[in-house]
Chain A
């Protein structure tokens, strides 16, 4: 089920909300309702794979319990190994088996990808590892189930570590203030997804498709190629950050406080800075469960640090999908981060503009690799962007697309910088001011208008893809 669907907004969500607050006197009952609702939410799109979810919950709870009970370090490690192997095997079979078989020239097995498998498998794995480390206690399968399957963050994160919400599952406070904050955040996310991301998706998908029409790759003009890459950069940001906004907002509606997943990544001043702002929960996960256990950067020999970084970025690439494009994309980030660490050139750049420009150019170029169907298309697309494909510069089509989407492009660029946050701060520095008072009326009406427009778009079945559902 999509958050940006009529069924979710007008049937599922009100029903869950009603049931949840009907049992305001019992936290246990509320948790049962949330778990059942989460399973229905998942089963809606994946009726069969909900069994996989059940299996994941049961196996990980069981193994975590065993890890906690065992005394010997060797046996504890063995059980942890089994748990991690079971999770990775699940991920491998459903996500990578076809790709590996194809790579080795075998006829690939095509299993449909369970939605959000990378997200819930990583959460499940981190839970068992945390129990092994002793940072959390093994819980009953019911709590683990709610942690793994909780519908706001089930399909596209943020990836939450168990100790973040262990206490919240048992003793959380929910009140109308939190609900109001949550529902406002959800609506902002919905508007980002429906109005901005989908508009950019239309442009990006068309331009990337045109570059692959027929057996011979068409040369799209420079202007069009750049419009395609910039549209995709905006699309992926608004798609994924919108989902995180909706997830965080829905969490608040039920009293859960999830960590932030984005912090204006396109204002980053280096690639390292970009990854501190983009998909923060995934970066944290890899740092906590891969980079640090390998030794991190506190190693005697620099070679080991390079190896650790390589492993993390290779895995980051593979995590995003079974395709050489993702692996190359991850490796390129490794190269840039390594270069930044050794040569420290972002620090040497004096102009902020140059720092931003460098970061945006690299990120935008690597999104092309990420978006392309294969490395060949990515290469051709780069040639088109650089104008070395006998493709010319000017494109009437690009001008037409820019004219048609100028409002979305301007808003998309404006809201990718912290303009809204800064305006908020100015507005509420002096709550007595006339502007602040007007804002109190204009904000809810404006957000309501956005909701109505979003519902109209959803009802008319406008193009509505979600990129991170595939991961």
Chain B
């Protein structure tokens, strides 16, 4: 039986899902990264930063 020649048609959703996957990886890295760093320093870095900025610090 002869094999069908020619290139396989590309899935139009592939690029759509790819960009979502890239974002998901960035999201997970940043959220877990923050959670990890926060746990390491044992405090709420965000809130401290905000308090500093509200108090007029850098």
A residues at B contact (CB < 8 Å) = 6, 9-11, 13-14, 176-177, 179-181, 183-184, 187, 424, 428-429, 431-432, 436-437, 439-441, 443-445, 447-448, 451, 455, 459-461
Contact = CB atoms under 8 A, between A and B. Distances in A.
A460 B48 CA distance: 10
Contacts of A11: 35
8 contacts: A180-B21, A180-B24, A183-B24, A184-B20, A431-B10, A431-B11, A431-B12, A459-B47
Contacts, number: 85
A440 B35 contact: no
Interface in B1-21: 10-21
B24 A428 contact: no
A179 B15 CA distance: 16
B55 interface: no
Given A177-B17, A181-B17, A455-B46, A10 B23 contact: no
A243 B47 CA distance: 25
Secondary structure of the B side of the interface? helix
Contacts of A181: 17, 20
B22 A459 contact: no
Given A11-B35, A428-B15, A459-B46, A451 B30 contact: yes
Contacts of B16: 424, 428, 431
Contacts of B18: 440
Contact of B15 (A177, A439, A451): A439
Given A447-B23, A448-B30, A459-B46, A180 B35 contact: no
Contacts of B35: 10-11, 14
Given A180-B17, A428-B13, A451-B30, A10 B24 contact: no
Chain B contact patch, size range = 20 to 34
Interface string B26-49: 111011101100100000101101
B30 A177 contact: no
Contacts of A428: 12-13, 15-16
A421 B21 CA distance: 19
A-side binding surface: helix, strand, loop or mixed?
A: helix
Contact of A10 (B15, B19, B34): B34
A13 B14 CA distance: 28
Contact of B23 (A429, A444, A460): A444
A273 to B, nearest CB: 29
Contacts of A13: 31
B12 A429 contact: yes
Given A6-B46, A459-B46, A448 B12 contact: no
Given A184-B24, A440-B19, 12 more contacts: A6-B47, A13-B31, A14-B35, A180-B21, A183-B23, A183-B27, A431-B11, A431-B14, A443-B22, A445-B26, A447-B23, A460-B54
Nearest to B21: A180
A283 B50 CA distance: 43
The 7 closest A-B pairs by CB, nearest first: A444-B23, A180-B24, A180-B20, A444-B22, A443-B19, A431-B15, A459-B46
A14 to B, nearest CB: 5
A22 to B, nearest CB: 14
A6 B44 CA distance: 10
Nearest to A184: B20
B20 to A, nearest CB: 4
Nearest to B44: A6
A16 to B, nearest CB: 12
B52 to A, nearest CB: 12
Contacts of A6: 44, 46-47
Given A428-B13, A440-B18, A459-B50, A9 B23 contact: no
